[in-house]
């Protein structure tokens, strides 16, 4: 499998810090909910740079087998009580919108005070469901990417940059 870097480590970290500063200005206290497995690195770095009170929890939702989108399954729900709290839902990538749409509905059913979505990568050309991110790291073309938590059947998750893969 060949990889071609499209976002280097420096630019990635610079953008994560920029996003954290915007989120920091928006909230005195924020509940960050990351979607596993892909967003774990992004959530870690993002929350580490927010200087206001941050509570972190994770949800595990599965919607991909290889490079194909399938039905959403919630494998692990959050444990924090987010009722009347400001929540930022963090995911690695927004493409079809199917996953985030369903997860957003689930989070809203827990009655947060507010809910915003933060994604590292946005592929608007792939959108099938009307979902918009409030905070976006990078907009990318319709390419399959790995790195910084994103993977292809386990490959590439550990990279400190984002790369396009040729399957």
* Rounded CA separation 122/86 (Å): 23
- Predicted TM-score (pTM) of this structure: 0.92
Q: What is the reported pLDDT for 61? A: 83
Check 95, 134, 142, 160 and give the catalytic one: 95
Does domain 19-143 correspond to CATH entry 3.40.50.2020?
yes
Q: What is the reported pLDDT for 62? A: 74
Q: What is the mean pLDDT of the chain?
A: 93
Q: What is the reported pLDDT for 1? A: 80
Query: Tell me: the pLDDT tens digits for 61-80?
Result: 876 555 555 667 888 999 99
- CB contact at 8 A, 165 and 156: yes
Count CB neighbours of 83 within 10 A: 9
* Domain ranges, ordered by start, for the chain: 19-143
**Which residue in this structure is represented by tokens 């729900």?**
77
Known catalytic membership, residue 142: no
Task: Pick out the chain residues at pLDDT < 70.
Answer: 63-71, 167
């Amino acid at each position: 499998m060949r990889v071609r870097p499209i976002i280097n480590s420096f630019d990635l970290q610079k953008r994560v810090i920029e996003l954290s500063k915007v989120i920091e200005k928006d909230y005195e206290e924020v509940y960050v909910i990351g979607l596993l497995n892909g967003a774990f690195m992004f959530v870690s770095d993002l929350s580490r740079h927010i200087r206001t009170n941050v509570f972190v929890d994770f949800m595990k939702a599965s919607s991909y087998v290889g490079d194909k989108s399938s039905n959403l399954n919630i494998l692990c729900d959050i444990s924090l009580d987010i009722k009347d709290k400001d929540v930022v839902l963090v995911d690695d990538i927004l493409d079809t919108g199917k996953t985030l749409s369903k997860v957003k509905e689930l989070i809203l059913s827990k009655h947060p005070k507010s809910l915003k979505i933060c994604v590292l990568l946005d592929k608007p050309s792939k959108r099938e469901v009307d979902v918009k991110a409030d905070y976006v790291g990078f907009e990318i073309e319709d390419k399959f990417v790995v790195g910084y938590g994103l993977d292809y059947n386990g490959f590439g998750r550990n990279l400190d940059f984002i790369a396009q893969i040729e399957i």
